[in-house]
Amino acid sequence: MPWGLYATVGEWNFYPTGGDPASLIDEHWYMTPYYLNRDGYYERPTYPLQAVNVTAKDYVPGALEDWTAGALRLNGKDQYAVLPNAKLTAPFTYDIEYTKDDKPVKESRTAQGEDLKNPQVHTSSFLIEAYFKTEPGHTGGVLMEKMAAAGYSLTVDTAGRVAFSVKGEGGSGSVSGTAKVNDGRWHHVLAECDRKSGTLTLYVDGKKDVEGAGVGPDVTLANAGDLYVGGTPKGRCLAGTLDFLRIALGTLTDAKTTIEELYAWEFDGPFLRDFVGRAPAGARRDAGAIEKVD
């Protein structure tokens, strides 16, 4: 269970759904103004990725689950996932009922543009969180990117470090990390664009890696490009394995947390122990609240 963030608008866990292996479901939940009642939650927009050239055999055991093949291995050649911009920009129309002058009123409303909350980033702060590993020595692969004349990009650069960039009319910024992430081991990366301070920050494996100049709230990153994960039709395909990815329209501060708190919960959290802090005596936790010890 990932630590909760502010305004999560996309969350993908990369396990097979039991149906189409090319469909990567989006499990984000964010109470936008058009979430009116629990009966209609399933009708609200989600943003599944469509994998390209992926089959069932590409799902492999990951590091975050032991109940399914919970990660997607990509070959670095012709496999990636896409979320079309048309899906992100499609207006969402919904009905609302309320009382006015003691009379019931039914009204149809439409969320569109910046009011439609999803991975199309406009002028808000945002962050991208990923858990992945590359093949040893891999460089140049896309982790997540939505870039045209404006947009954002998170990649493994030519030196095997994480690179994060944003650009829009009136401003741009980019940072490259110092920590190598192309060593064949699992890495947790969080890239943050803070509009209030105008900074970009990269965190690697629970620690701040680098900070640099970003863009302010007057620069929109909205663009007409599709969103890509793990590569693009023109290349830069990731040779590695994705276990978790999400994007949120806010910073760690907006979520009232820190990288240390988030990392401790996700990798050393209470799910690893019983209710008194005892580690499992066997392969995994007992079903009860207290671990059985003979």
Ranking 17-21, 127-131, 225-229, 289-293 by mean pLDDT, the lowest is 289-293
pLDDT at 24: 97
pLDDT of residue 77: 97
Q: How many CB atoms lie within 10 A of CB 190?
A: 27
pLDDT tens-digit readout, 68-86: 999 999 999 999 999 999 9
Amino acid 229: pLDDT: 98
Residue 280 lies in a domain: no
According to the model, what pLDDT value does residue 217 have?
Answer: 95
Q: Is 75 a member of any domain? A: yes
Q: Which of 117, 50, 118, 109 is nearest to 84 (CA)?
A: 50
* Alpha-carbon torsion, ordered 51, 239, 27, 180, to 10 deg: -160
Buried b (16+ CB within 10 A) or exposed e, 12-39: bbbbbeeeebbebebebebebebebeee
| Domain assignment present for 285 | no
In this structure, is residue 122 part of a structural domain? yes
- Specify the pTM: 0.94
**287 domain residue, yes or no:** no
Question: CATH number of the domain that 215 lies in?
Answer: 2.60.120.200
Is 278 within a domain? no
36 in a domain, yes or no? yes
CB 235 within 8 A of CB 74: no
Per-residue pLDDT reduced to its tens digit, 157-207 = 999 999 999 999 999 999 999 999 999 999 999 999 999 999 999 999 999
From residue 122, alpha-carbon distances to 113, 144, 228, 291 in Å are 9, 16, 17, 48
Domain hosting 50: range is 8-272
Residue 172 one-letter amino acid: S
Q: Is residue 51 part of a domain?
A: yes
Percent share of the chain, pLDDT over 90: 84
**Total count of domains within the chain:** 1
